[in-house]
């Protein structure tokens, strides 16, 4: 199975909470990623493309696995910072 997701990566928990609220409130995830994310994926609106199990850090991967397609997560903490994740696909 492969998953696809976009994310916004920030260092600060309060900023992550604010961004998640905006994204869940209907603001453009792509625009928020381009404005706030510290990940190079920000140039693609946070899109990480397709990935298989083991390619992402465990906390990130677990969060994506549990999410329904199209949903936006609360901030997920990893060693890189806080991720706001949008699951955008799943395929066998």
Read off the pLDDT of residues 17-61 as tens digits, 9 standing for 90 and up: 999 999 999 999 999 999 999 999 999 999 999 999 999 999 999
Percent residues over pLDDT 90 in the chain: 99
pLDDT for position 30: 98
Q: Structural domain of residue 79, as residue ranges? A: 2-91
Which helix (H) or strand (E) segment is 83 a member of? strand 81-91
Would you say the C-alpha torsion 29, 91, 38, 72 has a positive or negative sign? positive
Q: What is the value of pTM for the model shown?
A: 0.95
pLDDT for position 64: 97
The CATH number covering residue 65 comes to: 3.10.50.40
Number of domains in the chain: 1
pLDDT for position 23: 98
């Amino acid at each position: 199975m492969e998953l696809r997701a976009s994310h916004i990566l920030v260092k600060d928990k309060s900023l992550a909470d604010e961004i998640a609220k905006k994204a869940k409130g209907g603001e453009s995830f792509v625009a928020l990623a381009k404005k706030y994310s510290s990940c190079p994926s920000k140039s693609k609106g946070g899109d990480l493309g397709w990935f298989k199990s083991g390619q992402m850090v465990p906390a990130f991967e677990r969060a994506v696995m549990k999410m329904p397609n199209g949903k936006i997560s609360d901030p997920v903490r990893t060693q890189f910072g806080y991720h706001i994740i949008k699951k955008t696909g799943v395929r066998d």
